[in-house]
């Protein structure tokens, strides 16, 4: 049997839809419904889910390639896709018995998923929810104030973290919560500097649901966060940063080649300082892509260095994207500043990566702990 193409051949069509709507999504701050519909139809929602549930059975390498390509077209679409995949792999690690169709629905695009982890009380420390879950017979009640939920109001299923019903200090539970569950409400608005189509609003959670919607055993959530969510989310988030940086670099190269200084008979690319900036940007993108590919390979075949790469790749890509998109603004001058180019959108979108948890600064601390033999927590 011939191997499936890598990346999947449905990707260019989705990228074309995302590109066509990216500027309006950003300007109007609206959810990228067209691109998400294209994703639902493309098979890509199940990219890394097993074939038995209708997925494509691909791995971390293909995932990073898809997210990079989406991010170069539309940062909001890429982040929405990343949060879906992060929710899907989390649910797939221990599918909740009470939702037998969940994995096939997430794989085939019927259900868009997202993570509702961050809380008002513990801020970016998503691994330490201050929310409560309490057992009530065969049900569980969950009360939480979630501070940011990408795709809020658009997702079909929310992977919600909370303190565990076990009552054990620091223990975490996770639940798959279908949209429409009474007590799961949007509790604010999202008006961001970047990723303006993300619908990353706060949500209040005051729900009762069957205990069989729990992902994994009672108190297993922290382990799932570290073993499943961390590698996939960090790879995907680093891919968003790298894709945004790559898109800005491509746009900057096109601009400096075509923008003319008529009185000199030259283009911007004839200026040595511009060429040097472009060179640094191109080299930095290539460096990040290589680190991303290396980390994706390491997550596919883990060894003792995998955790270091998982911690490092997001921080490195987040910070590189800040520098690269800043350079793109500079070399393209007023054309970038005045929105004639898609570069200022990438510049703004790229600001999200380093503040998304685990934040880049937290990751530098974790990386330092890991390489010096200290416990992460
Ligand atoms: C566009 C966008 C979409 C998002 N989508 C989701 C989502 O779908 N689901 C979800 O659960 N969350 C989501 N988040 C939330 C995100 O993951 C973070 O929780 C949030 O950005 C943290 O913001 P804060 O102001 O609460 O950070 P704070 O925790 O207040 O951090 C402020 C500063 O302190 C630093 N800091 C904090 N702890 C440490 C540490 N241990 N070491 C070093 N420095 C530290 C941070 O790096 C940061 O510079 C989203 C955020 C954004 C921006």
260 within a domain of the structure (yes/no): yes
320 within a domain of the structure (yes/no): yes
- Asked if 198 and 236 sit in the same domain, the reply is no
Dump pLDDT digits (tens) for 283-324. Answer: 999 999 999 999 999 999 999 999 999 999 999 999 999 999
Orientation angle between helical segments 60-73 and 230-258, nearest 10 degrees: 40
**Residues forming beta bridges with residue 159, ordered by sequence position:** 115, 176
Q: Share the mean pLDDT of the chain.
A: 97
At residue 164 the predicted structure's pLDDT band, cuts being 50, 70 and 90, is very high
Measure 353 CA to ligand 1 centroid, in angstroms: 9
* CB of 355 sitting under 6 A from ligand 1: yes
CATH code (residue 53): 1.10.540.10
* DSSP-based three-state secondary structure for 242: helix
- Is a pLDDT exceeding 90 seen at residue 178? yes
- Is a pLDDT exceeding 60 seen at residue 131? yes
2 within a domain of the structure (yes/no): no
5 within a domain of the structure (yes/no): no
CATH code (residue 256): 1.20.140.10
* CB of 274 sitting under 6 A from ligand 1: no
- Asked if 148 and 268 sit in the same domain, the reply is no
- Is a pLDDT exceeding 90 seen at residue 174? yes
User: Which of 218, 250, 281 is a domain's end point?
Assistant: 218
Considering only CA atoms, which residue is closest to atom 14 of ligand 1? 148
Closest listed residue to residue 64, CA positions, set 260, 283, 299? 299
The pLDDT assigned to 3 comes to 53
- Asked if 228 and 367 sit in the same domain, the reply is yes
* CB of 298 sitting under 6 A from ligand 1: no
The pLDDT assigned to 264 comes to 97
* DSSP-based three-state secondary structure for 66: helix
- Asked if 226 and 214 sit in the same domain, the reply is no
Dump pLDDT digits (tens) for 11-63. Answer: 999 999 999 999 999 999 999 999 999 999 999 999 999 999 999 999 999 99
- Asked if 226 and 366 sit in the same domain, the reply is yes
Long-range CB contacts (within 8 A, 24+) of 366-373: 366/311, 367/308, 367/311, 367/312, 367/315, 370/307, 370/308, 370/311, 371/308
- Asked if 194 and 314 sit in the same domain, the reply is no
* CB of 152 sitting under 6 A from ligand 1: no
- Asked if 260 and 333 sit in the same domain, the reply is yes
- Asked if 365 and 277 sit in the same domain, the reply is yes
Measure 356 CA to ligand 1 centroid, in angstroms: 5
In angstroms, the CA 214 to CA 227 distance is 17
Measure 33 CA to ligand 1 centroid, in angstroms: 26
The pLDDT assigned to 323 comes to 98
Residues of the domain holding 86: 11-108
338 within a domain of the structure (yes/no): yes
- Asked if 345 and 272 sit in the same domain, the reply is yes
Measure 304 CA to ligand 1 centroid, in angstroms: 27
3 within a domain of the structure (yes/no): no
- Is a pLDDT exceeding 60 seen at residue 5? no
55 within a domain of the structure (yes/no): yes
| Average pLDDT of span 327-356 | 96
* CB of 195 sitting under 6 A from ligand 1: yes
Dump pLDDT digits (tens) for 181-220. Answer: 999 999 999 999 999 999 999 999 999 999 999 999 999 9
Considering only CA atoms, which residue is closest to atom 22 of ligand 1? 124
Measure 121 CA to ligand 1 centroid, in angstroms: 12
- Nearest atom (ligand 1) to Cα of 190: 1
- Asked if 87 and 123 sit in the same domain, the reply is no
> Cα Rg for the chain, rounded, in angstroms?
21
- Asked if 276 and 254 sit in the same domain, the reply is yes
User: Which of 84, 108, 132 is a domain's end point?
Assistant: 108
Contacts of 198 (CB under 8 A, 6+ apart): 31, 76, 79, 80, 150, 151, 190, 192
* CB of 190 sitting under 6 A from ligand 1: no
The pLDDT assigned to 8 comes to 80
Dump pLDDT digits (tens) for 239-264. Answer: 999 999 999 999 999 999 999 999 99
64 within a domain of the structure (yes/no): yes
User: Which of 108, 135, 167 is a domain's end point?
Assistant: 108
Percent of the chain predicted with pLDDT > 70: 98
- Nearest atom (ligand 1) to Cα of 118: 11
CATH code (residue 117): 2.40.110.10
Number of domains in the chain: 3
- Asked if 329 and 239 sit in the same domain, the reply is yes
* CB of 201 sitting under 6 A from ligand 1: no
Dump pLDDT digits (tens) for 342-358. Answer: 999 999 999 999 999 99
């Amino acid at each position: 049997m011939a191997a499936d193409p890598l990346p999947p051949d449905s990707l260019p069509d989705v990228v074309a839809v995302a590109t066509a709507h990216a500027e309006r999504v950003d300007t109007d701050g609206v959810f990228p419904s067209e691109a998400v519909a294209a994703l639902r139809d493309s098979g890509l929602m199940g990219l890394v889910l097993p074939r038995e549930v209708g997925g494509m059975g691909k791995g971390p390498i293909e995932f990073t390639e898809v997210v990079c390509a989406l991010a170069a077209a539309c940062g909001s679409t890429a982040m929405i896709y990343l949060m879906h995949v992060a929710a899907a792999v989390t649910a797939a690690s221990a599918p909740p018995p009470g939702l037998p169709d969940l994995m096939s629905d997430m794989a085939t695009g019927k259900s868009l998923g997202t993570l509702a982890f961050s809380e008002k009380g513990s801020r970016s420390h998503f691994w330490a929810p201050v929310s409560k879950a309490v057992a009530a017979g065969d049900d569980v009640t969950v009360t939480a104030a979630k501070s940011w939920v990408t795709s809020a109001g658009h997702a079909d299923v929310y992977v919600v973290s909370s303190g565990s019903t076990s009552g054990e200090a620091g223990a975490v539970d996770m639940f798959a919560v279908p949209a429409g569950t009474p007590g799961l409400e949007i509790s604010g608005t999202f008006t961001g500097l970047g990723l303006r189509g993300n619908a990353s609003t706060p949500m209040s959670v005051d729900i009762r649901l069957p205990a069989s919607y729990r992902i994994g055993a009672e108190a297993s959530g922290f382990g799932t966060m570290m073993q499943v969510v961390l590698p996939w989310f960090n790879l995907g988030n680093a891919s968003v940063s790298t894709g945004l940086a790559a898109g800005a670099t491509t746009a900057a190269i096109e601009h400096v080649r075509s923008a003319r200084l008529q009185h000199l008979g030259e283009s911007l690319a004839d200026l040595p300082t511009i060429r040097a900036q472009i060179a640094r940007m191109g080299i930095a993108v290539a460096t990040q892509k290589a680190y991303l590919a290396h980390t994706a390979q390491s997550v596919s075949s883990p060894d003792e260095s995998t955790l270091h790469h998982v911690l490092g790749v997001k921080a490195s890509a987040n910070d590189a994207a800040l520098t690269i998109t800043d350079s793109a603004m500079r070399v393209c001058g007023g054309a970038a500043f005045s929105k004639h180019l898609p570069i200022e959108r990438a510049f703004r979108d790229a600001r999200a990566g380093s503040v998304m948890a685990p934040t880049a600064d937290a990751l530098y601390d974790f990386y330092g702990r890991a390489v010096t033999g200290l416990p992460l927590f």
